[in-house]
């Protein structure tokens, strides 16, 4: 039972990759060593091992960032827009939305926060509080809003930030339960400083 629980807790313990060496494709599993015959010297081999990086890189439509490898990433493209969701395995969800042009950042932030507060009120949220916050994103201090509430008997927090780079506006939002604050901070700390636009 203990072994089964350990496997469930770390499903990424072993991963298999295809590696091409001098035109020949081989499979290698993380944590295992593979001996590959040298293509340049008879009788010589090369020992190869591979491990999964704790951080992975997302690059699409000029939007780049790193994220923890345990997270799940999904994205949706529509014309020049790109929406990306990075979900931590323990619940926090960080969303990035690259818009096709620049918007009024202050107005967009205020309207987004007001819409969220209205949705929470009509959806049964209580103890709703809104405050101004700031976070380091892409090397700059970015103003934002934090909305906390009690929803379905769970204390939840949503943070929203708008900023502009390379002639486009970006929205970054993070949603998490209060008990997931540490995991949410880890996710934010991996993505926000590495966020870049081409």
pLDDT at 5 over 70: no
pLDDT range class, residue 12, cuts 50, 70, 90: very low
Closest C-alpha among 14, 22, 16 to residue 45: 22
Closest C-alpha among 160, 186, 159, 156 to residue 71: 186
The Cα–Cα gap between 6 and 165 comes to: 43
- Residue 114 — φ and ψ, nearest 5°? -65, -40
Mean pLDDT of 64-77: 94
pLDDT at 195 over 90: yes
Contact assessment for residue 173 and residue 161, using Cβ atoms and an 8 Å cutoff:
yes
* Choice between 1 and 17, residue whose per-residue pLDDT is larger: 17
pLDDT range class, residue 111, cuts 50, 70, 90: very high
pLDDT at 145 over 50: yes
CA 1 to chain centre: 32
Mean pLDDT of 113-129: 95
pLDDT range class, residue 6, cuts 50, 70, 90: very low
Q: What pLDDT shows up at residue 13?
A: 54
The 10s digit of each residue's pLDDT in 155-172 is 999 999 999 988 889 999
Q: What pLDDT shows up at residue 79?
A: 86
The Cα–Cα gap between 190 and 30 comes to: 23
Q: What pLDDT shows up at residue 129?
A: 96
Which pTM does this prediction carry?
A: 0.80
């Amino acid at each position: 039972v203990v072994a089964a629980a350990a496997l469930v807790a770390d499903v990424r313990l072993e991963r298999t990759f295809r590696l091409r060496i001098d035109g020949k494709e081989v499979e290698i599993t993380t944590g295992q060593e593979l001996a590959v015959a040298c293509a340049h010297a008879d009788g010589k081999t090369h020992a190869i091992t591979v491990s999964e990086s704790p951080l992975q890189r997302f690059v699409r439509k000029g939007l780049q960032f790193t994220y923890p490898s345990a997270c799940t990433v999904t994205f949706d493209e529509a014309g020049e827009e790109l929406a990306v969701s990075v979900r931590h395995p323990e619940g926090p969800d960080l969303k990035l939305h690259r818009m096709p042009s620049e918007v009024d950042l202050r107005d967009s932030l205020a309207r987004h926060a007001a819409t969220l507060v209205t949705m929470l009120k009509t959806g049964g949220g209580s103890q709703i509080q809104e405050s101004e916050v700031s976070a380091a994103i892409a090397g700059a201090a970015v103003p934002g809003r934090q909305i906390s509430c009690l929803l379905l008997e769970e204390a939840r927090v949503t943070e929203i930030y708008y900023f502009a780079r390379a002639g486009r506006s970006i929205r970054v939002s993070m949603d998490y339960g209060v008990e997931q604050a540490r995991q949410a901070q880890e996710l934010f700390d991996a993505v926000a400083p590495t966020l870049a636009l081409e």
